[in-house]
Structure 1
Amino acid sequence: MITPTADQIAKTKKSIENYYISWISYPYKREGVAPFYQMHEPGESIRGTVMIFHGFSAKPMQMFLVGDYLFRNGFNIYQIPLAGHAFIPPDSYWPQVDLKPEFRDPLRDEVRKDAVLDLFLSNRDNKSQGQFQRLTTFQKMALIGRIIKMAPQLLDMALAIERPNDPDFDRYFTSSHMNYLTDAQERLAELDAMPGPIYTLGLSVGGAVALGLAASRPDRIKKVVAYAPLLEVSNEINERYINLTGPLDLREFSWEQNVSFPVGCLTAANRFGAFVRSDKNREALEKIPTFLVLTENEDAADLKTNQRFFDQLGGKDKGHHYYLYPASDLVPHPMVDPTEVSQGMTNRFWKSLYQETFRFLTTGEVDADNMSNLEEAPDLPPMPTYS
């Protein structure tokens, strides 16, 4: 435990509030995506400060309950919008991978010579969220095949995205995927005046950011909790789909936020996940205790990639922990929010998830038997009542 001084708290609040002021004064801000903090008063001892990153296309409030639980039990909390997500339109602000114009424009023209593809792309562009439907795996496969038939050179470009360190990537593409890291580093700098350990916690792309930030600052980040981190999108069909259609500016919708975004934003999230998995970052993370929470009902992050990443970190012998919700527990990818419905599922075990997150941050241990327990563990702080 450490007791920050009034001056240290004031300096930290001022740094965060300067970021908030820049958001609130910006004409293209996205409503409800403000950074916010919960900090204990001067003279109160704290366990450290937790930086919390929400999932792709979501808002910081997605993570409010877990943050509030940790705050009530001794942590300072900083809830942070993912890079660019505090602003709209996503086309201008969210990290994305784009084909350079000299490649993009002729490719789009070539693909739209196919009357079927032209109609499909036009329909996707003009749909409102109420009319929008996500593509099935079979539809994605059919779309991939038809696009490659019309523009076979696009496959080589997609492979340049998928292969690590492919020299052709910079030839074909511009990418802002590293904004996920640089933005998180700027938020970390706002905590320079705050003493004590810093922890990172995130969901999905936010989980990848939590890991990537820790790998870049092992001197400052002491532990990481990553819920279903998006280190690679689930299955090869989805990956090929986003890497082929992203450069064509096909659009997707966020179900929760009524925001349409280019598929290239998903391409950037996937590429950032590959960066986090790089040897350099993995070696840095071997020395930072991590807690990965996964689910067999995964529909966004590739489960096998996450499991392999955990094994490469060295497992429990190196201070790392891992829990996999079985399919029968009906826990979806957005597992942190008990009110969020995905694939018809919500996480009924959220209380034990929060408690074990607290246990890990304070002791470095995890009680796997408690993770699928509907009752609260008596040896951990109880959950407050949330209406």
Structure 2
Amino acid sequence: MSRAVIVQAKRTPIGKKNGILQTFQPHELVAPLLRQLASGIEAKVDDVIVGNVTGPGGNIGRLSVLEAGLPLSIPGLTIDRQCSAGLEAIRIACCLIQAGAGQCYIAGGVESTSTSPYLKRARFSPDSLGDPDMVEAAEFVATKYGITKDQQDDYALLSYRRSWESFERGFFKEEILPVAQWYQDEGLHKKRNMEALVKRAKPILSGENNTVTAANSCGIQDGAAAAVVMEENSALRLGLKPILRFVDSQVAAVHPHYPGSAPIPAIKTLLERNRLTIQDIDLIEINEAFASKIVACAQELSIPYEKLNVSGGALTIGHPYGASGAILVTRLFYEVQRQKEAKYVLAAIGSGGGIGVAVLFETVR
């Protein structure tokens, strides 16, 4: 069986909605990444797979290929699995290589909420089941798993501290390909009395027992991320160094009222099939759409915070929907190069409709 490896990964800075990236259409955010990642291997790329959620329609993957000036022979594909789209794009590329359908793909995701033509989100669930907005769904998860506001606030503060420390240590410079003059995540800045700001934040929804606040939730953002996924022997013949090797993946679904819990069954099934436990996984990235989701996943899967989102995440830098899953993989790509002892790593994300995607990698030494 052919083995898929990741040899390069990059992301743009992440901008707030109507912020630093507000004038960039989705294909204009992806194109610089494609140019950078394809440099020197343009003729080897079989396809580009791009995840997107709120874009203008059409085939953003193909449009991005053309905008980047890549060979006209590269087709381009766009997929939508809501917030899981970027991770799903990378998963599909890995599976295509494993099946022998191709040798080299660039896969990832993009979101431009600033230029989206849609004023409202897509429907996640039929009326017969109910179609809660994401904040309401985050409250459902908190209630179901008994997650308190203090637990969510404490995790949000941990994420903020980790993100800021990672920025100060220069970790994000490795990940980011600047766009125009922008080279830093817009939402990341030093805040005084952060603990007081988080603890005093009021629930977004009215109601006596609500716990989800703006301080323990992600922001709405613009951004893109992508990775070069290659067949391992092909990469080695080209003199490229594999960093992550695809092991396996799993998609799972839960009731659409609890999308934040969808990574739980996906991760459980993935580990069981590969005869692994959480103790065997050295680094885990789960998208931080809401702190309630992360606390619930950590609680139900017995994940110690010491190996979970160790460089911070979306609660601080933001959640550009279609790109977020690819940002998780980009983060792992660089983190394993700093933590030389890491062997198995995992990326997972939950999305609207109650879908969870989990992807397991091993490091290549």
Q: Same fold (TM over 0.5)?
A: no
Query: Which is helix-richer, 1 or 2?
Result: 1
Query: Which is strand-richer, 1 or 2?
Result: 2
Larger Cα-atom Rg: 1
Structure 1 length as normaliser, TM-score? 0.26
